[in-house]
Amino acid sequence: MDHDHHGPVTAGERRRVDLDTDEALRLLGSVSLGRIVFTRHALPTVRPVNHVLDGGEIVVRTHEGADLSACIRRADGLGVVVAYEADSIDPDTHLGWSVVVTGYARLVTDPVELARYRAMVSPWVDQTMDLAVRVRPDLVSGVLLRADGRPGDV
C-alpha cells in the first residue's frame, strides 16, 4: 500500500465502506490465508487455513484427524455451518479490507475433484492434508476501511 500519511490514520480520517458480494468474494480470492470458524464441543473454534476460491466456493485442505473434518463427518453429509474470514489490513494505518462468509461446509468426496483441489491448494504446514472441505457462501459481507476522501486507498 502506498500512503501519503506519515503515521497512523486517525479515526476521523477513516471511512468504512460496505462491499457488495462480488467485490467481497473477489478480494477474498486475492489472498490465500483465512480463518475458518466452526463448533467444537458446543463452542466456537477458529483455525487459520489456506484456501482457494473455485467457482465462487471456498476450498480448504485438511486432514483426517482434524477437528474440522470430525465435525463435518458427524453431520453425515448434511454439512455444518461455518464462518470464514479473510482480510488484508495494514498494521500501521489500519486501512484495508475484511470479508466474512457464512455457509455450509462439506467434505469433498469425488476423487477427481479431490485430486484437483490437492493440486490447487498447497498445505501451509508440514503435514499430510488428504482431505478437502468446500464452503458454499450463503451470506457474504465485506468492508473496506479507507482514508476518507481518498478513493484509491485500500
pLDDT score recorded for residue 152: 52
Cell numbers standing for residue 109: 468426496
Q: Is residue 101 part of a domain?
A: yes
Q: Is residue 114 part of a domain?
A: yes
DSSP annotation of 11 reads: G
Kindly state the helix (H) or strand (E) to which residue 114 belongs, with its residue range: helix 111-120
pLDDT score recorded for residue 8: 58
**Average pLDDT per consecutive 10 residues, the chain (154 residues; last block may be shorter):** 51 84 97 94 92 95 86 85 97 94 95 91 73 95 85 50
Q: Is residue 153 part of a domain?
A: no
User: Which residue spans within 14-151 are E strands per DSSP?
Assistant: 14-19, 33-40, 43-54, 57-62, 80-89, 96-107, 131-147
Q: Is residue 65 part of a domain?
A: yes
pLDDT score recorded for residue 23: 97
CATH number of the domain within which 62 lies? 2.30.110.10
pLDDT score recorded for residue 2: 46
Q: Which structural domain, as residue segments, surrounds residue 131? A: 15-139
pLDDT score recorded for residue 3: 46
Count of domains for the chain: 1
Q: Is residue 103 part of a domain?
A: yes
Q: Is residue 148 part of a domain?
A: no
pTM, entire model:
0.84
**CA of residue 137 relative to chain centroid, distance:** 10
Q: Is residue 1 part of a domain?
A: no
Q: Is residue 4 part of a domain?
A: no
pLDDT score recorded for residue 118: 87
